[in-house]
Chain A
């Protein structure tokens, strides 16, 4: 009896010791900041001067802050265009590359390659390709007789150029996840459909896409959460411009906190962002749970 107890106690001690470094860094650099951000969001700080307690004033300011609402709208619009595009393109690529073909591994790797290129480098390519005056996209559009498009001087084209780069970056991840999911669909289902004389299109619509439902749902949630955090490509490619037409929630929070040095206000924006992401996570969790029960 005593030996069992001492062995348990020793296991608990070693367990704590093994987990200790991770728990320490998470406690200091994650859990504590997550508590503190609420605290800081109730203060007014200008520069690095002493913080002043202002209660909910930052949140009140957010409600009447036009730029905040613009940023929220831009983020939502960017998400609404970019997520479905990446999803459809990723699915198409996965269906295309699921069959045997020569050099399949290499072709898959090429589709995935942009995902390992840094956001800054991707944004620089984007800024160059979509340069309004001398960029390749406008030159080609000019030759075809469709251009030039004001990619840098008007809001909607600027947002679309960001979407194009996000598609280039995000397609590979969606493809890889869909490819893995396609492997999981039992072969018999497809064979049965073929025996019943189902067309390719019917098989895709009635079998493949419904079978991929959980994967699609997962990719939508991950896509939305990632899109709400898009920073690197926006900051480097458009800098939120022209005007504030591509300012996103996170670039606005960054500029409030570290360019205008209103860290209380930036934290309040952070808290709002946190709540948005939290709600989406809870939705995902509940849907998954319901599906597991069903």
Chain B
């Protein structure tokens, strides 16, 4: 029985991995091989032109720089904002706390497409159309991360904070020296998820970014799809390149991903 289970599980894993494997095969094969007659499930020859050709023709490096800039800045700002707010909503009493929290959490269910037109108007009014900041700023309102931060910090014992207060520490100091060091697992989950969301985001940068030089990788990939048509070799190669940072993050922090997701599910 156990052997059957393992066989099933491995078959499933092969099926789940196959599309990625097929990307690799396509990326290193010549397009003639992929179009020609006969069915090959492995590469018959290895070529690098699918990698070099688009890199020399299109500003892929710029797209990568834009993606890195947007993801890193967004992660830093979002995580700081959510950690501070999480602490306030979990541990500090202030007027309007519950109402504000409920209002913020209720935006979890709002589809991006509901608010995209008004958000677009705002970005136009702020003069941020076409700029990285126009992509970053509206997405700083991140309810899921705020919710996770608050839930995590509720579990920190009040006594720890009160003891620090008796020592005469300011709240800011308590937050930095007592609360944050206890929040390492939380910070890991927030950083990983925010990075993933911002790195993979497509619809909003598509709306904000106009000039091909300013694209992120995701918008750039759509641009390449329209350029290459049926020639999938280059497209798969560029798509694979764009996945590398995410795959590394996943490989390193795989446990956090799974735990973070599971936690979001139980509640």
Q: Interface on A for B, CB 8 Å cutoff?
A: 8, 11-16, 18-19, 21-23, 25-26, 28-34, 36-37, 40, 93, 96-97, 99, 101-102, 104-105, 107-121, 124-125, 127-129, 131, 133-134, 136, 139-140, 143, 168, 171, 173, 176-177, 179-181, 184, 215, 218-219, 225, 228-229, 231-232, 235-236, 249-250, 253-254, 257-258, 263, 266-267, 270-271, 273-274, 277-278, 281
Query: Taking each of A18, A176, A180, A278, which has the highest tally of chain B beta carbons within 10 Å of its own beta carbon?
Result: A18
B221 interfacial by beta-carbon distance below 8 Å: yes
**B141 contacts which of A26, A104, A215, A267 (Cβ < 8 Å)?**
A26
Residues of A within 8 A of B85 (CB): 18-19, 21-23
The 7 closest A-B pairs by CB, nearest first: A15-B94, A15-B92, A177-B265, A22-B85, A33-B118, A118-B200, A18-B88
Select the stretch in B15-23, B44-52, B53-61 that faces chain A.
B15-23
Q: By the criterion CB–CB under 8 Å, are B262 and A177 in contact?
A: yes
Nearest Cβ distance between residue B92 and chain A, in whole angstroms? Answer: 3
B138 beta carbon closer than 8 Å to chain A: yes
Q: Mark contacts of B189-209 with chain A using CB atoms, 8 A cut-off: 1 yes-contact digit, 0 otherwise.
A: 000000010011011000100
Select from chain A the residue with minimum beta-carbon distance to B34: A134
- Which of A116, A128, A274 is in CB contact (< 8 Å) with B247? A116
Please tell me if the beta carbons of B114 and A274 are within 8 angstroms of each other in the complex. Answer: yes
Q: Is B182 an interface residue (CB 8 A)?
A: no
Check A270 against B20 for contact (C-beta < 8 Å).
no
Flag if A18 contacts B235 (CB, 8 Å).
no
In this assembly, does B188 line the interface, its C-beta being within 8 Å of a C-beta of chain A? no
Which secondary structure dominates chain B's binding surface? helix
Determine the distance from Cα of A269 to Cα of B235 in the docked complex, in whole angstroms: 33
Residues of B within 8 A of A133 (CB): 230
Residues of chain A contacted by B119 (CB below 8 angstroms): 29, 33
Selected from A118, A232, A249, the residue in CB contact (under 8 A) with B246 is A118
With the chains together, A93 CA to B12 CA distance in Å?
8
Say yes or no for B160: interface residue by CB 8 A criterion: no
Give the CA-CA distance A125 to B16 in the complex, in Å.
Answer: 12
CB-defined contacts of A277 to chain B, threshold 8 Å: 109-111, 114
Q: A37-B118, A129-B19 are known contacts. Are A120 and B109 too (CB-CB below 8 A)?
A: no
User: Which residues of A sit under 8 angstroms from B262, Cβ to Cβ?
Assistant: 176-177, 179-180
What 0/1 pattern do residues 234 to 246 of B give for CB contact below 8 A with A?
Answer: 0110010011001
What would 17 more interface pairs be, CB under 8 Å, given A21-B81, A21-B84, A168-B19?
Answer: A11-B93, A12-B92, A14-B94, A22-B84, A23-B104, A109-B258, A114-B19, A128-B235, A128-B236, A136-B22, A140-B39, A143-B39, A173-B265, A254-B203, A266-B116, A266-B117, A281-B109
CB pair A118–B2 under 8 Å, yes or no, is no
Q: How many A-B residue pairs have CB under 8 A?
A: 282
User: What 1/0 flags go to B218-260 for Cβ under 8 Å of A?
Assistant: 1001100100001010011001001100110110001001100
Minimum distance in angstroms from A267 CB to a CB of chain B: 5
- 7 inter-chain pairs at a CB distance below 8 angstroms, sorted by A residue, are A18-B171, A19-B85, A31-B107, A109-B250, A128-B22, A229-B113, A253-B116
- B140-A25 in contact (CB<8A): yes
Task: Please tell me if the beta carbons of B175 and A18 are within 8 angstroms of each other in the complex.
Answer: yes
Contact: A112 with B258, CB < 8 Å? yes
Give A179 to B95 CA distance when docked, in angstroms: 40
Q: Cα distance A189–B140 when bound, in Å?
A: 45
Residues on the B chain within 8 Å of A113, using CB? 16-17, 20, 247, 250
Q: Is A229 in contact with B39, judged by CB distance below 8 angstroms?
A: no
* A162 vs chain B, min Cβ distance (A): 14
B111:A229 contact, CB within 8 angstroms: yes
Question: With A22-B81, A112-B257, A139-B39 in contact, do A278 and B109 touch (Cβ < 8 Å)?
Answer: yes
Contact of B114 among A18, A34, A102, A121 (CB under 8 A): A34
Chain B residues within CB distance 8 Å of chain A: 2, 5-6, 8-10, 12-13, 16-17, 19-20, 22-23, 26, 34-35, 39, 80-82, 84-85, 87-89, 92-95, 97, 100, 103-104, 107, 109-122, 137-138, 140-141, 143, 146, 171-172, 175, 196, 199-200, 202-203, 207, 218, 221-222, 225, 230, 232, 235-236, 239, 242-243, 246-247, 249-250, 254, 257-258, 261-263, 265-267
Nearest A residue (CB) for B254 = A109
Chain B residues with Cβ under 8 A from A215's Cβ?
Answer: 265-266
Chain A positions within 8 Å of B261 at CB level: 112, 115, 173, 176-177
A96 to chain B, nearest CB (A): 5
In Å, the complex CA distance between A249 and B92 comes to 41
**B232 and A131 contact, CB distance less than 8 A:** yes
Considering the chains assembled together, what is the distance between the CA atoms of A40 and B242 in angstroms? Answer: 37
Q: How far apart are A10's CB and chain B's nearest CB, in angstroms? A: 8
